[in-house]
Amino acid sequence: MAQVPFAPDVFTWPAEKPQLIGARCASCAAVTFPAQDSCPRCGKLEMEQLLLPREGTLWTWTTQDFLPKEPYASGETPQTFKPFGMGLVQLGDDVRVEGRLTVSDPKQIRFGMKLELVIYPFRTDSDGTQVMSYAFAPAEEGN
């Protein structure tokens, strides 16, 4: 089965330990995700690619309990939709990244929990191709 990322240059993949691809301004050191051409802090065009840490801390979260409106393109219907967690994850000291959580039960989610980046199949296209995206999963103890 073929697998493709949902967008180019968002995460390293395939990779044993994938990372999100951000950018750091060479002038003022601002960090962005996703990567962008100009700095949101100083406006300079001195952004350099930066691989972000794989592990982070859950800063805040919510659950998505209904099928999002377009352009959300999971292929689900209101009948097949499964709720999921969404979180804002602090990666290192520089950037917070919004992303899907692999857990959706509020009893399994807590502020400050350690998370790690994973790549998962977001949807399967009509030709059988799996479209891959990123999410954050609870980090295993001891990692």
Give the residue-averaged pLDDT of 63-88: 95
What pLDDT score was predicted for residue 1? 84
Give the residue-averaged pLDDT of 62-72: 94
Is 143 a residue whose pLDDT tops 60? no
Percent of the chain at pLDDT exceeding 90: 94
Is 142 a residue whose pLDDT tops 80? no
Mean per-residue pLDDT of the chain = 95
Percent of the chain at pLDDT exceeding 70: 98
Letter string b/e over residues 100-129, b meaning 16 or more CB atoms within 10 A of that residue's CB = bbbbbeeeebeeebebbbebeebeeeeeee
pLDDT, tens digit, for every residue of 90-136?
A: 999 989 999 999 999 999 999 999 999 999 999 999 999 999 999 99
Q: How confident is the model at residue 141 (pLDDT cuts 50, 70, 90)?
A: low
Would you say 129 and 2 are in contact if contact means Cβ atoms under 8 Å apart?
yes
Question: Of 140 and 131, which is predicted with more confidence?
Answer: 131
Q: How confident is the model at residue 37 (pLDDT cuts 50, 70, 90)?
A: very high
